[in-house]
């Protein structure tokens, strides 16, 4: 259960109690947002109230009755602060341009709010990632000796382009900021633009990295703040090392990569840092880097069920805005959907046997059912 409240509202704990009291009157819970009656005193504070996860959604439950519900209410305020590009000024006098090697997002933020829901991945994949990430942060917060149980708090997502890796990183950071709002007061997402770390000035790149991590260090020093580092297209950093070894790139690139790796290792000591990396080319990535990642998740192309969900999502949006009318209720993917459709098409095909199209579809659905 996630509750977004408006700014300058009452303390989170009081709102939490109110929300829990309100939820007592609910008979059952399903995924999606809950409407507050306008006469409820909460309505002035609460912006969005949403059920985002039902226990173990992995087994496909869609309804939970109130006596089985173990309510976890997270209260948070959405931030509207625009992303901040962190400009590092060029070293004086040598005519270099200012670099912005990272941008900073304060979490949880409003424009990230719908991301998590819009991602269609394998069932249970998102939940697994949240559980992994939150327990590694818990391990660190509880003070587990890193020499005994090693956990780098680094997630590496790989897969073909366009499958939502970067979006998932952002959504994951947002989700963790919400879920762990009782542990960490604030949360920041720092997106590192790895391409801008390679300066055209010899030996300048290493200094850029140092300055970038100095800045990150300042953020990390605040123990009540969770810092998520997002390194997009991480192969652009790590493949540089191997190509430099073969002599095709200046040795400066090696220094950058090594500097980043050591800096990341140094950050590992701090319990409030989570590193998220994405890559398209898992094979070209540096072995030293892969070894540092705790979770290496493959995000693949959506299967048929995923495609259906995405297209259905699009249709619902078009119906909401009225570009497609009249609005219909489209069923989500169900195991028996194919059977129902098969029956419908049998009827249709029988009614108009000369319609070749229906017969083609008929054959297609038979194949689909046989596949299952």
- Shortest Å distance, C-beta 191 to other proteins: 18
Residue 323 lies near other proteins (rule: CB under 8 A)? yes
Residue 339 lies near other proteins (rule: CB under 8 A)? no
User: Of the listed pieces 35-43, 79-87, 189-197, 332-340, which binds other proteins according to CB under 8 A?
Assistant: 332-340
- Shortest Å distance, C-beta 317 to other proteins: 8
- Edge-first strand listing for the sheet containing 225-231: 84-88, 99-107, 186-192, 225-231, 273-279, 154-158, 295-298
Q: Which residues contact 7 (CB under 8 A, 6 or more apart)?
A: 77
Comparing CA positions, the residue from 35, 23, 32 lying closest to residue 53 is 32
Site string for other proteins, 274-303 (x = CB under 8 A): ---------------------------xxx
186-192/99-107 β-pairing: antiparallel
User: Of the listed pieces 52-60, 90-98, 148-156, 321-329, which binds other proteins according to CB under 8 A?
Assistant: 321-329
Residue 147 structure tokens = 């020499």
CA distances from 298 to 158, 164, 279 (A): 5, 11, 10
Residue 311 lies near other proteins (rule: CB under 8 A)? yes
Q: Which residues contact 347 (CB under 8 A, 6 or more apart)?
A: none
Which residue carries 């300042």 as its tokens? Answer: 218
Residue 307 lies near other proteins (rule: CB under 8 A)? yes
Residue 314 lies near other proteins (rule: CB under 8 A)? yes
At 105 the three-state DSSP class reads: strand
**Closer CB to other proteins, residue 35 or residue 329?**
329
- Shortest Å distance, C-beta 111 to other proteins: 16
- Shortest Å distance, C-beta 346 to other proteins: 12
Give the relative orientation of helices 337-351 and 356-371 as an angle to the nearest 10 degrees. 150
Residue 85 structure tokens = 């590009």
Residue 324 lies near other proteins (rule: CB under 8 A)? yes
At 226 the three-state DSSP class reads: strand
**Closer CB to other proteins, residue 211 or residue 348?**
348
Comparing CA positions, the residue from 361, 331, 368 lying closest to residue 345 is 361
Residue 364 lies near other proteins (rule: CB under 8 A)? yes
- Shortest Å distance, C-beta 327 to other proteins: 8
Q: What is the binding site for other proteins (CB under 8 A)? A: 119-120, 160-164, 301-308, 310-312, 314-315, 318-319, 322-326, 328-331, 337-338, 340-341, 344-345, 361, 364-365, 368
């Amino acid at each position: 259960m996630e509750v977004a409240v408006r700014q300058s509202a009452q303390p989170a704990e009081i709102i939490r109690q109110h929300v829990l009291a309100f939820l007592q009157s609910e008979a059952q819970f399903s995924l999606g947002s809950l409407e507050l009656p306008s006469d409820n005193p909460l309505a002035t504070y609460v912006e969005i109230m949403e059920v985002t996860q039902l226990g173990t959604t992995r087994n496909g439950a869609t309804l939970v009755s109130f006596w089985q519900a173990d309510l976890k209410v997270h209260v948070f305020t959405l931030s509207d602060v625009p992303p901040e590009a962190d400009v590092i000024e060029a070293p004086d006098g040598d005519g270099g341009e200012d670099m912005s090697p990272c941008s900073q997002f304060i979490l949880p933020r409003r424009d990230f709010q719908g991301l998590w829901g819009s991602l269609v991945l394998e069932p249970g994949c998102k939940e697994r990632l949240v559980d992994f990430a939150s327990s590694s942060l818990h391990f660190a917060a509880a003070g587990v000796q890193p020499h005994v149980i090693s956990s780098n708090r680094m997630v590496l997502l790989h897969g073909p382009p366009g499958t939502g890796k970067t979006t998932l990183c952002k959504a994951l950071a947002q989700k963790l900021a919400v879920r762990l709002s009782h542990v960490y007061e604030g949360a920041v997402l720092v997106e590192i633009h790895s391409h801008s770390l390679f300066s055209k000035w010899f030996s300048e790149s290493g200094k850029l990295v140092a300055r970038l991590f100095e800045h990150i260090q300042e953020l990390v020093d605040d123990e009540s703040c969770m810092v998520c580092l997002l390194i997009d297209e991480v192969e652009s950093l790590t493949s540089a090392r191997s190509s430099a070894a073969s002599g095709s790139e200046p040795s400066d690139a090696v220094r950058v990569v090594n500097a980043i790796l050591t800096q990341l290792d140094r950050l590992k000591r701090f319990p409030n840092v989570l590193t998220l990396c994405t890559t398209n080319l898992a094979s070209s990535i540096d072995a030293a880097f892969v070894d540092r990642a705790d979770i290496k998740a493959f995000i693949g192309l959506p299967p048929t069920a995923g495609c259906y969900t995405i297209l259905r999502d699009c249709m619902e949006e078009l119906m909401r805005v009225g570009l497609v009318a009249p609005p219909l209720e489209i069923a989500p993917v169900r195991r028996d959907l194919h059977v129902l459709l098969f029956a419908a098409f049998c009827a249709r095909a029988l009614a108009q046997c000369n319609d070749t199209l229906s017969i083609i579809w008929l054959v297609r659905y038979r194949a689909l059912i046989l596949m299952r």
